[in-house]
Structure 1
Amino acid sequence: MSVVTPPSVLRDGAFVRLWTGATGSGLATWALPFILGLAVLHGDLDPVGLGVVLAARTVGFLAAVPVGGVLADRHSRRGVVLWSGLVAAVAMPVMVFGLGRSVALMAIAAAVAGAGQGACRPAFQALTAEIVDGDRRQQANAAMSLAVRVTTLVAPGLTTLLGAFVSVHALLFGVAVLWLTAAFVPPQGKARPVDDVPARAGFFTEFVEGVREARRHPWFVAGLVALTCVVATGYSATGVVLPMVSRDRYGTEVVLAAATTGYAVGALIGALLISRWRPAAQGWAAFASLACYGFAPLSLLLPVHPAMIVAAYVIAGLGIELFNVPWFTATQREVAPDKLARVSSLDFLLSYGLAPAGLALIAPAIQEFGATPVLAVCTVICFAVPAAACLVPSARGLTTKP
């Protein structure tokens, strides 16, 4: 392995603006479910309504991710970020109006906000490649990931704290301000040649071109399969089983809170570490790190001390970041620049999109077969699929170049 120390990307004003905008979108994304949870506690929304609104947001996100990918390759990435942020921001006052009046109106607003969130993700990913040079992209992606992890830790507590002093309506307007930050603060990327409108193919054709570009990189396909399997099984299984284990095996919610926090702390450490670590076989190291998520369902499978569960979640969080950052960096480096947003949209569509599907299927599977066999299968998948991905020839360095 080798360690390099490129100039800090945090001294680059353009990147700092991009990081600020991405952090704003991350805070807005993570804060909304907790704000709506406060609305349930205050009696402005019932639990069924909360489920409907959050489901609508997920649908909006999944529908918009491929659209955002095509638009970000077709037009200015900065423009897509701007309009995505504005769309999400405008949805918040509508949600405020519907709060306590109409769940249907809130669901529509949540779907629109989810669409803004989904459309901006591939655009931010491609905009990072435009603004940051190749030598510093891993550091930049680590800084982006760091913001996400800090947001994960801060957003729940900050939202709850603010909820003690201001109304849910005011908090929703605060989310709108965060989306406006995401819309207006990021800088313009490098100018790219744009084809004449009549010469452009249709949306579906352009999206298929992105799929073809992804297939040109076997390491990307293998990594996407591995990540999707880990998220759809390991992440979903632990999301369902961890609260049960915390309550039934240990008789306290502390294990749940400690393990969840441990995961975020592990990911935070991983983002800090990978900002400077450059393993020689980067792909193998990334897939081995991804496989570390298997320790999470394994710890729930065995009657271990609660500290072992927390440690397993710290390792899982550490591993997921040691995978994510090189994965994003390799995608930005290897994929054709004019197709980068579309390929990135495939990543978000499958890895994020199958998480709700996994959650929906895991609970019935546990009821039918029991938690032990389900956790065992998920553990095997989390360890085996990333290991199998390492067998792809281009996986070693996450590149098809000799």
Structure 2
Amino acid sequence: MGTKTGLWRGRDYRLQLAGAVISVLGSSAAPVATAFAILDAGGSGTAVGLVSASGVVPAVLFFLIGGVVADRLPRHLVIVAANLVSAVAQASFALVVFTHSARVWELMLFAALNGLAIAFRMPATEGLLMRSVDPEQASKAFALFRTGLNGAQVAGAALGGLLVSAFGPGSVLALDAATFLIAGGLSTRMRAEGRLRKRAGLVAELREGWREFAGRRWLWSVVAQFAVVNALGVGAFAVLGPLAADRHLDGARDWGFVLSCDAAGMILGGLLMVRLRPRRLLASGVPAAMLLALPTAAFAADASLPVLCAAALIAGIGVEIFSVNWMTTLRQEIPHDKFSRIAAFEALGSFGLAPAGAATAGPAADRLGLERTLWCATGAIVAASVLVLSLPDVRKLRRAPAAGGDPRR
């Protein structure tokens, strides 16, 4: 396995990267189409919010079950099934848009089906990716993988706007359904893992996954950090950022510049991590995550547009430095047959509070004032990061030395 090219250039890795990039292109275009499909049908902003929430709730509720399933069954087949569900959901969404019969409850149902598919696809994808890369090449493989996804996300969002304007939202939703079918087809060509473990009861397997998660202080402490960072990042940056841009800058145009710089930073960060191999994975990753506080601080300080764009660019770089180091740590430390359950607990902990952060950001700004709320969010992100960095388990975790094989294989 320790060949010169490394497993990260292997067939499974290439298939997974291609499938992920294709599906992200469609998934990044779809939100633009979804919003305008609802508005074109006479829906309100409330309807857009209901449909969006309908996609989030099933994902959160079923993440843990999705992790159990992905640790039981061949993960590439779990991904195929999830992509088929997403393809049916998006194709049905496109059909009601084409026939001008879209009703909010139907769109909520389609969004819920897609969210349910995410709950199973995400743990299976992460577990399969971990198995597809050689430990010695993991950082480079993860950096290239994330760079591809970030590039697809930027291109997909831009393409979505253009295609909705030219052909209407139904065409973009149909295209999204097609990308899921293509990604699913690529997954069928991956090497079969076989059944990874003997079946046990659902509760027993969840308990086993929880013991693995809770028994590693570095793991749950970083997840707790990101519960704070993601809640405030979504709330303060995604909700209050446009408000601050509208009050102090040139509105949507300047907000678009800030978002573009954030995306460019993530691409640059991924390219940077292709070359870098820090020895202390979390001691270098956690401070990089702290850079997410820069854009909220810049908005709170009423900074100029160039300063805001620079802050967003640096924050994007920090996101990727952390993300690649984090994925490398998980690849190194977590037993493969338990990884999908760990990924599910991680996702639930890291993103479970994000909807609450988005929902409370506006009322907090109304009560405390926009600038004060942004400063509070900045302080909380920094405090959570410093607290986690103070833990010896986090500071001392090192990259494993190069070896000829992986003892968990």
Give the TM-score taking structure 1 as reference length.
0.91
- For residues 58 and 74 of structure 2, the distance between their equivalents in structure 1, rounded to whole angstroms, comes to 22
Match of 1:319 in 2: 318
Match of 1:175 in 2: 176
- For residues 168 and 337 of structure 1, the distance between their equivalents in structure 2, rounded to whole angstroms, comes to 41
- Counterpart mapping for 1:81-230 below 5 A: 81-99=79-97, 100-101=100-101, 102-186=103-187, 187-189=189-191, 191=193, 194-197=196-199, 200-201=200-201, 203-230=202-229
- For residues 162 and 123 of structure 2, the distance between their equivalents in structure 1, rounded to whole angstroms, comes to 32
Deviation at 1:191, TM superposition (A): 2.9
Are residues 389 and 213 of structure 1, via their aligned partners in 2, closer, same or farther at CA, if it must alter by over 3 Å?
same
Q: Do the aligned partners of 1:81 and 1:183 also contact (CA within 8 Å) in 2?
A: yes
Q: Do the aligned partners of 1:32 and 1:175 also contact (CA within 8 Å) in 2?
A: yes
Deviation at 1:113, TM superposition (A): 1.0
- Counterpart mapping for 1:348-363 below 5 A: 348-363=347-362
Task: Kindly provide the CA deviation profile for residues 2-40 of structure 1, in whole angstroms up to 9, marking residues without a partner as x.
Answer: xxxx84767433211110112233223322211112324
Q: Which moved more, 1:334-343 or 1:11-20?
A: 11-20
Task: Kindly provide the CA deviation profile for residues 101-158 of structure 1, in whole angstroms up to 9, marking residues without a partner as x.
Answer: 2221121111001111231111111001222111122222112211221123111210
Deviation at 1:264, TM superposition (A): 0.5
- For residues 275 and 77 of structure 1, the distance between their equivalents in structure 2, rounded to whole angstroms, comes to 26
Deviation at 1:58, TM superposition (A): 1.1
Task: Kindly provide the CA deviation profile for residues 165-217 of structure 1, in whole angstroms up to 9, marking residues without a partner as x.
Answer: 323222222111111122221343563554454xx12x233122212101222
- Counterpart mapping for 1:339-350 below 5 A: 339-350=338-349
Structure 1 consecutive aligned stretches of length 4 or more whose deviation exceeds 6 Å? none
- For residues 249 and 168 of structure 2, the distance between their equivalents in structure 1, rounded to whole angstroms, comes to 36
Tell me the secondary structure at the aligned position of residue 159 of structure 1: helix
Q: Do the aligned partners of 1:255 and 1:306 also contact (CA within 8 Å) in 2?
A: yes
Tell me the secondary structure at the aligned position of residue 376 of structure 2: helix
Are residues 371 and 167 of structure 1, via their aligned partners in 2, closer, same or farther at CA, if it must alter by over 3 Å?
closer
Are residues 398 and 25 of structure 1, via their aligned partners in 2, closer, same or farther at CA, if it must alter by over 3 Å?
farther
- For residues 240 and 14 of structure 1, the distance between their equivalents in structure 2, rounded to whole angstroms, comes to 38
Are residues 191 and 250 of structure 1, via their aligned partners in 2, closer, same or farther at CA, if it must alter by over 3 Å?
closer
Task: Kindly provide the CA deviation profile for residues 265-302 of structure 1, in whole angstroms up to 9, marking residues without a partner as x.
Answer: 11111111112201122211101100111111110111
Deviation at 1:385, TM superposition (A): 1.3
Taking only aligned residues, the RMSD between alpha carbons, in angstroms, comes to 2.2
> Does residue 1:70 correspond to 2:68, yes or no?
yes
- For residues 371 and 218 of structure 2, the distance between their equivalents in structure 1, rounded to whole angstroms, comes to 33
Are residues 399 and 282 of structure 1, via their aligned partners in 2, closer, same or farther at CA, if it must alter by over 3 Å?
closer
Deviation at 1:401, TM superposition (A): 8.6
Task: Kindly provide the CA deviation profile for residues 354-397 of structure 1, in whole angstroms up to 9, marking residues without a partner as x.
Answer: 21111011111111111222212211121121121122222125
Q: Do the aligned partners of 2:22 and 2:152 also contact (CA within 8 Å) in 1?
A: no
Q: Do the aligned partners of 1:217 and 1:400 also contact (CA within 8 Å) in 2?
A: no
Structure 1, unaligned runs of 5 or more:
1-5
Q: Do the aligned partners of 1:220 and 1:398 also contact (CA within 8 Å) in 2?
A: no
Tell me the secondary structure at the aligned position of residue 291 of structure 2: helix
Structure 2, unaligned runs of 5 or more:
402-409
Match of 2:50 in 1: 52
Q: 1:247 corresponds to which letter in structure 2?
A: D
- For residues 290 and 5 of structure 2, the distance between their equivalents in structure 1, rounded to whole angstroms, comes to 31
> Does residue 1:239 correspond to 2:238, yes or no?
yes
Tell me the secondary structure at the aligned position of residue 167 of structure 2: coil
Match of 1:12 in 2: 10
Task: Kindly provide the CA deviation profile for residues 43-102 of structure 1, in whole angstroms up to 9, marking residues without a partner as x.
Answer: 464433322211111112222322211100011111111111111111122223433422
Tell me the secondary structure at the aligned position of residue 190 of structure 2: coil
Q: Do the aligned partners of 1:234 and 1:379 also contact (CA within 8 Å) in 2?
A: no
